[in-house]
Amino acid sequence: MLDIPTLPNELEQEILQLAARISPETALRLLAVSKKVKIWIQPIVYEVVVIQDHDLKPSYYPECVGPHSNLNQIFKENGGHIRSLLLHHPSESSLLAYCPTITSLSMDQPLTLELLAAIQKIPLHHLRCNLTGCKSAVDPDSLAFSNITHLDLLNPPRWRHCQFLAQMPKLTHLALDDPEGSSRLEETVKSALEHCRYLEALLLVLDLVTGQIQDDIEVREDYLPVQDNRIVAISVHPLVGWLNGELGKGDMWKVAEGVIANRIKEHSTAHSENSNSSS
């Protein structure tokens, strides 16, 4: 009988995990190969989780868990793998207790005080939320905001209701989701640029409601309410802006950073040319 050569465990794991990251279909099939392989692949499947109407959609594998799943049981078993989570309803905030290493959270519905209390216990860096209903009760010194570097506000309020932004110690990237291109945000934009001392990018997200989900992020140079290199306006579907960035498919923050870098480079080049021509 011929001996069938086998790969070292470490190499086999590396190959299968790479295959899982490249192909969602392959990842699902690998879950059923063996207990050993499932241990390797399951963390990849549950890195990014979306809950919509209580249907769990792990990463980009919506068929992995069916509708009306037992969320508590699923999170109890896999919460340690989750680094990015989209919640559908504030009542699901209790699930965060199973996610000790989550760094990115998205929440379409109004942020509640219960959810604020829950996120104080996790190491969040990216937060997408709606402040309606609790904007007056937001404490900038709260642990919920102490490590946030990227904040995306849905239905952003006027500046008087979000002055806490200026006191967030690590805020470098701010997005205001503005579906109508509303002029009422001009004061908020100007004030954020003036008072948020560490701000590197301010993103205006337009055209949030479209008939079809598309991956494209369109830069809108035609909508810049204030002249400042740090402001970038984009059009993107509401889910795509956050989710695709978490999945590595196209990050709206990186798009903004690229636009800002190009502006600075062009400004520097123009300044050098003007200096040379005048000397």
**Residue 15 burial (CB count, 10 A):** 11
Q: Is the pLDDT of residue 211 over 50?
A: no
Of all residues in the chain, the percent with pLDDT exceeding 90 is: 27
Query: Would you state the pLDDT for residue 151?
Result: 94
The span from the CA of 249 to the CA of 98, in Å, is: 26
Q: Is the pLDDT of residue 123 over 80?
A: yes
The span from the CA of 152 to the CA of 208, in Å, is: 13
Residue range 212-268, pLDDT digits in tens: 445 678 888 877 777 899 999 888 876 777 877 787 777 889 889 999 999 988 877
pTM for this structure? 0.83
Residue range 74-120, pLDDT digits in tens: 899 889 999 999 887 767 888 899 999 999 998 877 777 788 888 88
Query: Would you state the pLDDT for residue 180?
Result: 60
Residue range 25-66, pLDDT digits in tens: 788 889 888 999 999 998 988 888 887 654 555 554 444 444
**Token pair belonging to 143:** 């642990």
**φ and ψ of 247, to 5 deg:** -90, 0
Q: Is the pLDDT of residue 67 over 50?
A: no
Of 216, 154, 205, the C-alpha closest to 181 is 205
